[in-house]
Amino acid sequence: MQPMFKWKTDDFSWVDFTIDVLRVIIVLGVVIGAWNTLSSGRISFAQWVNLFAAGLSQGSIYALIALGYTLVYGILLMINFAHGEVFMAGAFSTVFLAEALNRTGFLNAQPLLAILLMIAFAGLVSMSVAILLERIAYRPLRGSPRLVPLITAIGAAFFLQYTFRGLYGSGFKAYPGVHALQGAIEIGGISIPVVQVFVFCAALFLMLCLYWLVERTRIGKAMRAVSENKEVARLMGIDIDWVIMFTFGVGGFLAGSAGVINGLFRPQGVNFYMGFIPGIKAFTAAVLGGIGNIPGAMLGGLFLGVIEAIGPNLVLAGLGIPGANQLKDVIAFTMLVLVLIFRPQGILGERLSETKA
Amino acid sequence: MKRLLPVFLLIGLLVAFSIPAFAQDGCMDELGCVEIASDDPVVIGAMLSVSGATSFYGEDSLGGIELAISGRDGMLLGREITLVVEDSLCSAEGGQAAAQRVAADETIVGVIGTTCSGAAQGAMPIISEAGMVMISSSNTSPSLTNDDTEAGGTYLPGYFRTAHNDLFQGAMGAQYAVEVLKAGAVATIHDGDPYTEGLAVVMANTFAGLNGEVVFQGAVSKGDTDMSAILTEIAASAPDVVYLPVFVPESEFLVSQAANTPGLEDAVMMTADGSFSATFAQNTGAAAVGVAMTGPHVSGEAYSAFLDLWAEEQPGGTEAPPSGFHAHAYDAVNILMDAVEAVAEELDDGTVLIGRQALRDAISAVENYDGLTGSLTCQDESPYAGDCATGTALAVFEITEPQVNDGDWPPPIVWDLSMSMMMMNDG
């Protein structure tokens, strides 16, 4: 034992100590803030339930986008930062279809059929964009250092933003309202908007489909094999390029459908820049849940949505912080930092194989 | 003494060389001159938000500038006009970067910009230091024309604007809330931008001064889509009027989600010129009906002709201006071009000199200028230093069904200052 490294073998370390102190401060802050808010009774139980429900719907949209990050990371170990723009591509393109369907009256005559049509269209657009992105921007860089595709992804994000601005202009658009989704469901004196229930169910259905695809089908098995070990998968006769392209396509489809679901939930704000913040939030959600882990991305998305909806009013307002609602993003990104400090593998974590670790 | 001889000689030589240089230069302006050789173009700068989420404001102003230039067949002082457009984004950093590029170009006679008040705060120290002038068509933050730094003023010489000062607009919102809506309690929301925050503060202060109660002052972030948290909190404080002078699309999210927030059914939503666009009503949908908004009120034959010209030439590829400050930009660039013409001195060799201080003085002296946005008189005293608009081209509009369903724009005017019981004395 060399004496100069003695401190390392001690039980005490400053890093652990600091993290422990941080832990205590955070727990105390959350408890005190929540206690202050709840004891003041400014916000009623029904309002908390409303906030929670809105958070779940928002979170399910984050989750759908987060799945794209996680799928690609699982297979290529790269963060596709242009994924937010894939979401925008579907959402922005479909707003024109939605307007047309609304003008002809089809949207309100056959709402379910019209929404399915919109989801299919948005999914196709986003899927094509994602596949082209992979083919043109990422495949030539496969095997290069990990920073290279990351920077390329950021460049591709700008390219996509300004391409769509060139195509559709810089103004804001909005999805038309669907009459069938207006109104609210009353449960025990608490009313929850129908659209939120629909959004949550639709997103959940898509996620279950994905789970089934990955776990129960042949191509899903191939995806899992490629994510485990590309070289061995190749030796087993799996066409790696095709599987990667398929993965991007699936991620793109989910992002596009998230675009339409988001359009039903929050109809305004459709423009070429709309993918940026949801993209970052979904990336946060994917890391929260454990990037590379599919149920993790779903859980991370829902968790982030709910924390964002409830956190400012529950904790920050209770601590007497002014402008608490402006700090919603602070809550989201603080969660990211905390997860990275305390549980770097995410909530569900992923059992990293040796090549990934 | 002999050793000093070379020194005297050197000084003598320097003087001898510099006399003809001065004589030829002829620039007597204390801030220096822009020198345009006989076959060079006149260069006008524009610093606008032409990328990112607020780019349609920049495109709106850019269209007005292009139409004003083409209205003079692209010629000034017998030379062609070159327009240099820099992207100042909608942030202080963007304004600073654009201003540095503009200030480095000595051929630029003056600048139209910036789009956002935040960008102007980043740009003005550089523009003012370089001796240039900047006329904004859409900055409305009161701080930009206020030289009292302790009160948050950031006025610097060389700054002018044809957009109204929010001291007018915020006060107008408060007066409307008190006099017409008979509101006793107000909640305000801003988004952290100096423009929206300034407006929210002016409105709240005026409202409190009129014996109203300000029950909530909060903020959202740019890019937020889910407003349920802040709306729930506002509903808990039960205001009669919710004043949200934020930009689109945040205002669209706020208004449409407020309609579904229990407790806010009877509150009147009120917004300002950051949301003054035809798409606001259409995008917000049914919830937009009944929303009151303060905004630029530009009308008249000259303006109709301007809109016809826009539809014909379609600058930026749009049939109609995408926002409400194109006419202000048109007036701004015309004021600049008139001032350049007024102070230009032509030398014997065809070179034109434009004194930088003279140009500032000429713009300051603008009085009763007959612009598209009404009669403009540039003032030079804080808190209106550099303000050329008087706030008379403002009105309160109320959105009705045709704006939502058919895209009619602008909405009907329900109130303006002439209807007020307590006319503002300082306007």
CB of A266 less than 8 A from some CB of B: yes
Question: In this model, does residue A62 exceed pLDDT 50?
Answer: yes
pLDDT at B421: 57
- Total Cβ atoms within 10 A of residue B74: 15
> A120 in a domain, yes or no?
yes
DSSP state of A354: T
Q: Report which of residues A347 and A59 the model is more confident about.
A: A59
Chain A: nearest CA to B358, how far in angstroms?
39
Lowest mean pLDDT among A177-191, A200-214, B193-207, B331-345: A177-191
Of residues B297 and A131, more confidence is placed in: A131
Burial (CB < 10 A; 0-12, 13-18, 19+), residue B23, is exposed
| CB contact (8 A) between residue B223 and residue A276 | yes
With H, G, I as helix, E, B as strand and everything else as coil, classify residue B346.
strand
**How many Å apart are CA B42 and CA B35, to the nearest integer?**
10
Q: Is the pLDDT of residue A151 over 90?
A: yes
Chain A CB contacts of B52 under 8 Å are 273
For A211, the domain range is 55-276
Amino acid at A121: F
pLDDT at B427: 35
Report pLDDT for B208. Answer: 95
How far apart CA B172 and CA B424 sit, in angstroms, is 9
Contact yes or no for A325/B228 (Cβ under 8 A): no
DSSP-based helix, strand, coil % in chain A, nearest 5: 75, 5, 20
Interface test with B, best of A165, A195, A326, A330 (most B CBs within 10 A): A326
- In sequence order, what are the residues at sequence separation of 6 or more whose Cβ sits closer than 8 angstroms to the Cβ of residue A78? A72, A138, A146, A149, A150, A153
Contact A101, A115 (CB under 8 A): no
Return the pLDDT at A219.
94
- Residue A174's contacts (CB-CB under 8 Å, 6 or more residues apart) are A95, A267, A268, A269, A270, B249, B252, B279, B282, B283, B284, B285
pLDDT tens profile A299-353: 999 999 999 988 888 888 888 887 788 888 888 888 888 888 888 888 887 555 4
**DSSP per-residue letters across A143-209:** TS-THHHHHHHHHHHHHHHHHHHHHH-SS-B-PPPPGGG-SEEEETTEEEEHHHHHHHHHHHHHHHH
Test B219 with A171 for CB contact under 8 angstroms.
Answer: no
Residue A306 lies in a domain: no
The answer to the question of residue A229 being in a domain is yes
Query: What are A263-288's pLDDT values in tens digits?
Result: 999 999 898 999 999 999 999 999 99
* The token pair that represents B261 in the structure block: 């927030």
Instruction: Residue A302: name the closest of A26, A120, A66 by CA.
Output: A66
What is the CATH number that goes with domain B34-163+325-376?
3.40.50.2300
Considering only residues B383 and A85, tell me which one the structure prediction assigns the higher pLDDT. Answer: A85
What integer best gives the mean pLDDT of chain A? Answer: 89
Pairing of strands B79-87, B42-48: parallel
Q: Which residues of A touch B277 (CB under 8 A)?
A: 171
| Candidate from B53, B221, B253 with C-beta closest to A268 | B253
pLDDT in the model for residue A350: 58
Q: State which amino acid sits at residue B230.
A: I
pLDDT at B158: 95
Tell me whether residue A23 is in a domain.
Answer: no
**Max mean pLDDT range (A248-257, B8-17, B288-297, B402-411):** A248-257
Instruction: Examine the pLDDT at A9 and tell me if it is beyond 80.
Output: no
CA distances from A146 to A73, A130, A151, A229, A253 (A): 12, 19, 9, 17, 25
Range B334-350 average pLDDT: 93
pLDDT of residue A8: 54
Paired tokens of B331: 């007036």
pLDDT tens-place string over residues A251-266:
999 999 999 999 999 9
Average pLDDT for A120-134: 96
Strand B42-48 relative to strand B33-36, pairing:
unpaired
* Residues B359 and B339: beta-carbon distance below 8 Å: yes
Q: Give B-chain residues touching A323 at CB under 8 angstroms.
A: 218-219
Mean pLDDT, chain B, rounded, equals: 88
* End-to-end alpha carbon distance in chain B: 69
CA distances B198 to A15, B141, B178, B205, Å, are 44, 6, 20, 11
CA angle B336, B340, B345 (to 5 degrees): 175
Residue B296 is predicted with a pLDDT of 84
> Are B296 and B411 a contacting pair, CB within 8 Å?
no
- The pLDDT tens digits for B113-153 are 899 998 999 999 999 999 999 999 999 888 999 998 888 88
Tell the residue number behind the tokens 């913040």, with chain if given.
Answer: A277
Residue spans in chain B of domains classed CATH 3.40.50.2300: 34-163+325-376, 167-295+394-419
Minimal Cα–Cα distance from A268 to chain B, Å?
Answer: 6
pLDDT at A1: 44
3-state class of A332 per DSSP? helix
* Residue B1: exposure state from Cβ atoms within 10 A (0-12, 13-18, ≥19): exposed
Three-state SS annotation for B282-328: HHHHHHHCCCEEEEECCCCHHHHHHHHHHHHHCHHHCCCCCCCCHHH
Distance from C-alpha of B221 to C-alpha of B203, rounded to nearest angstrom: 20
Q: Provide mean pLDDT across the span A51-72.
A: 94
pLDDT at A299: 94
pLDDT the model gives residue A217:
94
Q: Give the model's pLDDT for residue B9.
A: 61
Question: Is A42's CB within 8 Å of B233's CB?
Answer: yes
A318: region left, alpha or beta (phi > 0 left; psi from -120 to 50 alpha): alpha
Alpha-carbon gap: A321 to the closest alpha carbon of chain B (Å): 11
Give the closest-approach CA distance of B53 to chain A in angstroms.
Answer: 6
CB of A46 within 8 Å of a chain B CB? The answer is yes
| Residue A344 domain-assigned (yes or no) | no
Residue labelled with tokens 């070179």: B351
% chain A with pLDDT above 70: 95
Strand-pairing partners, residue B111, are B45, B134
**Residue A148 covered by a domain:** yes
Contact B174, B210 (CB under 8 A): yes
> Residue B249: is the preceding peptide bond cis (ω within 30°)?
yes
Write the DSSP string, A211-276.
HHHHHHSHHHHHHHHHHH-HHHHHHTT--HHHHHHHHHHHHHHHHHHHHHHHHHHS-S-BSTTTTH
Query: What does the DSSP assignment read for B3-40?
Result: GGHHHHHHHHHHHHHHHHHHHHH----TT-EEEE-TTP
Q: What is the pTM of this model?
A: 0.80
Signed CA dihedral, A70, A75, A77, A81: sign only: negative
Nearest to A329 among B221, B232, B253 (CB): B221
**Among candidates A47, A171, A266 on the partner chain, residue whose Cβ is nearest the Cβ of B232:** A47
Distances (CA, A) of B385 to B111, B160, B168, B331: 17, 8, 14, 18
- Asked whether the predicted pLDDT for residue B374 surpasses 50, the reply is yes
Give tens-digit pLDDT for A168-191.
988 889 999 898 888 888 888 888
A contact test, residue of B193, B225, B257 with most A CBs within 10 A: B225
Most confidently predicted of A29-43, A192-206, B47-61, B386-400: A192-206
Residue A30, class by beta-carbon neighbours within 10 Å (0-12 exposed, 13-18 middle, 19+ buried)? Answer: middle
Stretch among A30-39, A206-215, B10-19 having the lowest mean pLDDT? B10-19
Q: Indicate the helix (H) or strand (E) that contains B415.
A: strand B413-415
- According to the model, what pLDDT value does residue B342 have? 94
pLDDT tens digit sequence for B70-106? 999 999 999 999 999 999 988 899 999 999 999 999 9
CB B133 within 8 A of CB B111: yes
Given a cut of 50, is residue B20 above it in pLDDT?
no
Q: What are phi and psi of B342, to 5 degrees?
A: -70, -35
Asked, as a colleague might, if the bond just before A111 is cis with ω within 30 of 0, I would say: no
Instruction: Please determine, for residue B357, whether its predicted confidence score (pLDDT) is greater than 70.
Output: yes
Q: 3.40.50.1000, 3.10.580.10, 3.40.50.2300, 1.20.990.10: which CATH number matches B167-295+394-419? A: 3.40.50.2300
CB B36 within 8 A of CB B82: no
